[in-house]
A and B are shown apart, each in its own frame.
Chain A
């Protein structure tokens, strides 16, 4: 068994797949970083991804343009974020409850809309998938090139977004304001920062990125089925904790989840009698271990899940 796994083709193929499978999780998790840093825990990103997934699919199906599809997905994700924002910021409802309801709503909505739009067909509708876009020259680097630089455009954009987010959160004034709102909203308010606006912006931006993550899945597989996110939104939540609210850490988390997923798929394909469930469980166990703080303490935003109530 080992000699089949320890070949260069297997490993490069595996790692390339891991990067691809990590992408939707990473996009969503990046969005969730903004949301959580501003003080909102959005469990509804699972549903947001699903909504983005369907919107991206329909958008591409009807316009024929992948770009339009992505745009639809992003807009839909933003709308889901807006709903979460209205419920948790303006109406001060419990964030955990809102997130869970949002997931249920999205599950029903997507399934409903998909059937209404496409009817019950024998052959499921298809869209064209994202084509790999090997980057000139560097894709020829042995090993690394195959893994990293023969991916599709959205993968590249996602990893650029990691760099951008790192910069935005830790180097710019906007990032400082976002973190201030999530740490001590009253203090931010007295400094003239509009807490509600920042939270709305963050939760909507988080929704947009999650919508984009969902769209990626639809375009990667070229189809849509009910509940096709299958928990990837929750994995994104886990990656945020795994990465301790830092884009680079979150990237590492998403890659580990992607790798575990890719590995178990390949093992199953090879037909080994290895309990692939163990592999599937691994990332969750890892997240729990990280949560326990055995590997060092992390600082969650102090005002996470607390609505900001202003007396007027």
Chain B
């Protein structure tokens, strides 16, 4: 046994993120930690890495009890972690990023030695990495390799990988799996956090399933299958309701030859064309970072198009600002609900009217009406809160999303842009939000649904488009396709 975690419990402001979790790991094992968003995977690993202190429970590393109070102690023990958001400093070079944790005052004297040591490791593990390039110039896959190299440099025997494939294309994922396998051959052990069943089945020896902060089961992957894992992960057969085909009407929005730049001023959208009709949900599938975020922003006016046209109800709305576009009865459920969709320091009432045309037309703002309106939202959308005067930061993620959706739907839209509407929410909230979207669609609203969750796309959409490197490389009716086909397209394989 390399690692044993026993009865780990951790509270966050009254909610049990981890509730008596046990986990053990053998040497040379790839152990998947499977669970939905919010199941407690990352919390558990942050405890192991010393970022959080557990309220209860013991950790044994190499049969000895250990108390890991900081990442420093974890690193010393030989535990390394690659976070979902890379912990690399963009302005620093690769070498600087790697030596950062170990450098002492005089380490510059030994810089040549250190460089040689790292170069040797690069050769042993067969990474292709240049040491003197600043990190911001590197691709996501390269940055990930540097993260792994970093943990190896500090002598990690146990590597924790937090959703490492979320940002990779299937091809990059394959390369990544090769690296992992070679690491295991060299005697390292790996904990692999994911919510993707396929990856669990293909790479790991054993899998521990978490749900709602509790450990459900640990099983050998050879003795299970995807369906069983899915059942364990979700807790019941997937009951999320699929959308019935609806009656489709006239074109509401048409996007023609759309081009746009990303935050680094590189061409991200290249010649996007799409059409959405009344009562149609158009789902866009794709790996994060292929332009879906920018597409939503351009359509809702938050980003400038550098070419092409957007026509909503026969009106050219290209490059109007968000306020003007929302006046055309376009609703936007943004990707980042905390930093775009709401103002966390405002009250719920103030958030309920953000961008609402009924309140944004006069010079005066009647706060009595604001309260009436937000109270009605709270009631109609079953938002759990102490009242419309509470600050928005006091809402849970699901309730905040309900508030945003409630506000956007109360504007009686003809067209809704929904970006990752259920990301990071619990099942109850997901179900509720899916129902709301379907209901709108049945009223004849056109919906653009952007999500990385393939199941969500397949369940809700009438038409599916796959975005890859800023282009919609294919689109087809949702009924006529399969997860496998979309998966291939997402990787750019035609």
Contacts and interface: CB of A to CB of B under 8 A. Distances in A.
A contacting B, Cβ–Cβ less than 8 Å = yes
Interface of A: 171-174, 176-177, 179-180, 183-184, 186-194, 299, 302, 311-312
B105 A173 contact: yes
Interface string B22-34: 0000000000000
Interface in B63-119: 70-72, 74-75, 81, 83, 87-92, 96, 99-101, 103-108
Contacts of A188: 89, 100
Main secondary structure of the interface of B (DSSP, over half): loop
Interface residues of B, number: 28
B235 to A, nearest CB: 27
Contacts of A190: 49, 51, 71, 81, 83, 87
B172 interface: no
A186 B81 CA distance: 13
A180 B99 CA distance: 11
Given A190-B83, A192-B75, A176 B100 contact: yes
A36 B300 CA distance: 38
16 contacts: A173-B108, A176-B103, A177-B100, A179-B91, A180-B100, A184-B89, A187-B88, A190-B81, A190-B87, A191-B71, A191-B75, A191-B100, A192-B71, A192-B75, A192-B101, A311-B12
Contacts of A193: 72, 100-101
A171 B108 contact: yes
A145 B81 CA distance: 57
Given A192-B72, A311-B52, A177 B103 contact: yes
B193 to A, nearest CB: 15
Contact of B87 (A177, A184, A194): A184
Interface string B356-370: 000000000000000
Contacts of A172: 103, 105-108
Contacts of B100: 176-177, 180, 188, 191, 193
B53 interface: yes
A186 B86 CA distance: 10
A171 B103 CA distance: 11
Nearest to A192: B72
A192 B51 CA distance: 10
Given A176-B103, A187-B89, 20 more contacts: A172-B105, A172-B106, A172-B107, A174-B103, A176-B92, A176-B100, A177-B100, A183-B90, A183-B92, A184-B87, A184-B89, A184-B90, A188-B100, A190-B49, A190-B71, A191-B101, A192-B74, A192-B101, A193-B100, A302-B90
A173 B70 contact: no
Contacts, number: 72
Nearest to B74: A192
Contacts of A299: 91
A168 B72 CA distance: 23
Contacts of B74: 192
B107 A180 contact: no
Query: Shortest 10 CB-CB distances between A and B: which pairs?
Result: A173-B103, A192-B72, A191-B101, A187-B87, A173-B107, A190-B87, A184-B89, A183-B89, A192-B71, A171-B108
A177 B104 CA distance: 9
A88 B51 CA distance: 22
A176 B96 contact: yes
A187 B70 CA distance: 13
A16 to B, nearest CB: 36
B91 A183 contact: yes
A133 B51 CA distance: 54
B108 A180 contact: no
Given A172-B107, A176-B99, A302-B91, A312 B70 contact: no
A140 B83 CA distance: 61
B105 A174 contact: yes
Given A188-B100, A190-B71, A190-B83, A180 B105 contact: no
B52 A189 contact: no
Max chain B C-beta neighbours (<10 A), residue from A171, A173, A190, A193? A190
A191 B156 CA distance: 13
A186 B88 CA distance: 10
Contacts of A187: 87-89
A84 to B, nearest CB: 25
Contacts of B53: 312
Contacts of B92: 176, 179-180, 183
A186 B70 contact: no
Contacts of B96: 176
A173 B12 CA distance: 35
A65 B333 CA distance: 69
Contacts of B87: 184, 186-187, 190-191
A173 B71 contact: no
Contact of A180 (B52, B71, B89): B89
B72 A173 contact: no
Contacts of A184: 87-90
A166 B269 CA distance: 44
A176 B105 CA distance: 9
Contacts of A179: 91-92
Contacts of A192: 70-72, 74-75, 101
A60 to B, nearest CB: 33
Contacts of A311: 12, 52
Nearest to B73: A192
Contacts of B83: 190
B43 to A, nearest CB: 10
B199 to A, nearest CB: 24
Contacts of A171: 108
A193 B104 CA distance: 11
A192 B101 CA distance: 6
A109 to B, nearest CB: 34
Nearest to A176: B103
Nearest to B82: A190
A191 B101 CA distance: 5
Contacts of B105: 172-174
A177 B89 CA distance: 11
Contacts of B99: 173, 176
Interface in B180-234: none
B52 A312 contact: yes
Contacts of B107: 172-173
